[in-house]
Amino acid sequence: MTEDNSPTLERTPTRSALIFAAPFAAAIFLIHFFSSLWGAHLGYGYFRDEMYFLVCGRHLAWGYVDQPPMVALQARLAKTLFGTSPTGVRIFSFAAHSLTVVLTGLLTRQFGGRRPAQALAMACVIVAPVFLGTGNFLTMNSFEPCFWMGSMLVLLRLADGSAHPRAWLLFGLIAGLGIENKHSTVFFLIAVLLGLLLTPQRRILASWYCVAGVAVLALVALPNFLWQWVHHFPTYEFLHNIAESDKNLRRPPIIFIYEQIKVLVYSTAPIWIGGIIWLGFSARARAWRFVAIAYLVFLALMIAMNGKYYYLAPIYPVLFAAGAVGFSQLARRDSHISAYAAIIGVAIFFTAPITLTILPPDRYNALTGIFAPDSARMEKYTSPLPQVLSDRFGWPQMVQGFAARYNALPPDVRSKTGIFCSNYGEASAVNILGPAYGLPTAISGHVNYYYWGWNNYSGESMLTLGNNPDDYKNSFDEVIDLGPFDAPWTMDFEHRRYFWLRHRKRPYSADWPSIKKWN
């Protein structure tokens, strides 16, 4: 062992660590499963993005304007295997949070932590609101920590010499899949690379296996890159438009850092902050020093790019693992570590009601107000509940409103009538929930709906939701107000009015480029 490596560690067998982690993983899976079922009973439905991902699953491709292909494939598989209920389409996300818990236990084991330390680290990942939230619905963010921590586990083993250099091939596969899941993986990999280059562990890069691993990574990520290239890099245009708009709230660095503590729950802060310190200064952690540097680089990148606070979330399991090992070195007895793990575990009774769909919406704010869950709002839009919850309300009522107005049209007009929506949430609600009411396919210029086109609608008769009839008078000869849409708990900006638009002045085919909305 070279002088750069950590001292020889006695680790529990991998099989034993997996068996120990299994009850933790099963517990969080069941928490998600039953909270989703209970939420449906309370009236919580599909989250806005879930319906969009289901529609993307009907149009499988190697890329989309606002995401790589994996989440659409995940939606398609979930629908095929588990049905179209909200709980059914979320099964893979529940499993992803469980897998993140298991990987955290394995990371702790890799650092030399025994079972009490593994329990402490896994408890932190279970109770952290940001992981509870992203693991509770269909989203790219649920699998992101799995890919990041899977590749990180491989790197830890390469750095301390416990894995053969051929493990670079596995790293390339996992990291490449991470990019196909979400493009932010690229920034994570940049931060890790800088961390390695700034430490003696840069030596593991000097290997043909490393080159081969990078080639595997590039090969796995290539289909999405080619899709982006063919379509003139729409994701870059989309992100640039958002950056230039006022959609996302800008927060000073100190608030951004404070939000990290908040969304991971205050009681876990000593663990992950301690993990940074242990990785940065402990002699026992010499081989893994690059992880602390990678985190600090990634933190600086996200602050500089005005990233959302949860963009850092996937990197925290490795800090929880390191912090738990550092705490175990300070604790005199394993019972002290187990006691802290139990205290962390109790936090689930405080974080679950804030994050999961287990409280009736009319009681949510009264019972969680002390924790100010909506103070971490990332966008300018307001809502009666935190956005991740409000965006699960109103969709059935919205679609029923379209259906009532559509079916009230004369049959000869109805056969020529389409539906236009201003955003992907409304369009996806119509396309997922609308067939039960006999509604036609909704079109939109928003994000990937732009590529799916205007469904050959002539524009002779269209139904839409909007705010002001004047918005349509330049495009249509006649604009008829059909009354308001209103539903409790939905996002504030979704309180609109139904309009019947008659006799479009120019065909959609001529105006479609100007209808594009990528922000």
Q: What is the DSSP letter of 248?
A: B
Distance CA 497, CA 467 (A): 6
How high is the pLDDT of residue 454? 96
Q: What is the mean pLDDT of residues 465-482?
A: 95
Checking if the pLDDT of 418 tops 90, the result is: yes
Integer angstrom CA distances of residue 359 from 43, 85, 104, 246, 470:
10, 20, 29, 32, 40
pLDDT band at 5 (very low <50, low <70, confident <90, very high): very low
Least confident of 56-60, 250-254, 463-467: 250-254
Q: Higher model confidence: residue 335 or residue 102?
A: 102
Neighbours of 384 (CB within 10 A): 17
Q: Higher model confidence: residue 346 or residue 51?
A: 51
How high is the pLDDT of residue 337? 84
Least confident of 113-117, 242-246, 371-375, 464-468: 371-375
CA dihedral 10, 11, 15, 20 (to 10 degrees): 120
Sheet strands (E) in 172-272: none
pLDDT band at 249 (very low <50, low <70, confident <90, very high): low
How high is the pLDDT of residue 3? 40
Q: What is the mean pLDDT of residues 16-44?
A: 96
Closest CA to 19 of 111, 102, 130, 109: 102
Distance CA 290, CA 153 (A): 13
**What secondary structure does DSSP assign to 97-118, as a single string?**
HHHHHHHHHHHHHHTT--HHHH
CA dihedral 422, 428, 430, 435 (to 10 degrees): 150
Distance CA 369, CA 391 (A): 19
Q: Could you tell me the two tokens for 153?
A: 């586990």
How high is the pLDDT of residue 7? 47
Distance CA 516, CA 447 (A): 8
pLDDT band at 17 (very low <50, low <70, confident <90, very high): very high
**What secondary structure does DSSP assign to 278-299, as a single string?**
HHHH-GGGGGGHHHHHHHHHHH
Q: What is the mean pLDDT of residues 141-152?
A: 97
Distance CA 116, CA 39 (A): 33
**What secondary structure does DSSP assign to 124-184, as a single string?**
HHHH-HHHHHHTTSS-HHHHHHHHHHHHHHHHHHHHTT-S-TTHHHHHHHHHHHHHHH-TT
Residue 117 near residue 327, CB atoms below 8 Å: yes
Closest CA to 196 of 215, 220, 171, 225: 171
pLDDT band at 371 (very low <50, low <70, confident <90, very high): low
pLDDT band at 376 (very low <50, low <70, confident <90, very high): low
Checking if the pLDDT of 369 tops 80, the result is: no
Residue found under tokens 């729950």: 265
Q: Could you tell me the two tokens for 114?
A: 């025994």
Residues, the chain: 519
% of the chain exceeding 70 in pLDDT:
95
Q: Where are the alpha helices (DSSP H) in 43-90?
A: 48-58, 70-82, 86-89
Q: What is the DSSP letter of 517?
A: B
Q: Could you report the per-residue pLDDT of 266-301, keeping only the tens digit for each?
A: 889 999 999 999 999 999 999 999 999 999 999 999
Least confident of 7-11, 60-64, 325-329, 492-496: 7-11
Q: Could you report the per-residue pLDDT of 114-131, keeping only the tens digit for each?
A: 999 999 999 999 999 999
Strand arrangement, sheet containing 461-466: 442-443, 417-420, 461-466, 497-504, 476-484
Checking if the pLDDT of 244 tops 90, the result is: no
Q: What is the mean pLDDT of the chain?
A: 92
Distance CA 183, CA 358 (A): 32
Tell me how far the alpha carbon of residue 50 is from its chain's centroid: 11
Residue 205 near residue 196, CB atoms below 8 Å: yes
The kind and range of the H/E element at 462 are strand 461-466
Residue 179 near residue 220, CB atoms below 8 Å: yes
Q: Could you report the per-residue pLDDT of 303-332, keeping only the tens digit for each?
A: 988 888 889 999 999 999 999 999 998 887
Output 507-510 pairs: Cβ under 8 A, ≥24 positions apart. Answer: 507/458, 507/459, 508/443, 508/454, 508/457, 508/458, 508/459, 509/454
Checking if the pLDDT of 437 tops 60, the result is: yes
**What secondary structure does DSSP assign to 429-452, as a single string?**
HHHHHGGGGTPPPEE--BTTHHHH
Checking if the pLDDT of 8 tops 50, the result is: no
How high is the pLDDT of residue 424? 97
Checking if the pLDDT of 379 tops 90, the result is: no
Q: What is the mean pLDDT of residues 57-71?
A: 97
Phi, psi at 246, each rounded to 5°? -105, 20
Checking if the pLDDT of 108 tops 60, the result is: yes
Which amino acid is located at 78 in the chain?
Answer: A
Residue 451 near residue 61, CB atoms below 8 Å: no
Pairing of strands 497-504, 476-484: antiparallel
How high is the pLDDT of residue 1? 35
Checking if the pLDDT of 60 tops 90, the result is: yes
How high is the pLDDT of residue 367? 82
How high is the pLDDT of residue 255? 87
Phi, psi at 487, each rounded to 5°? -155, 140
Checking if the pLDDT of 245 tops 90, the result is: no
pLDDT band at 347 (very low <50, low <70, confident <90, very high): confident
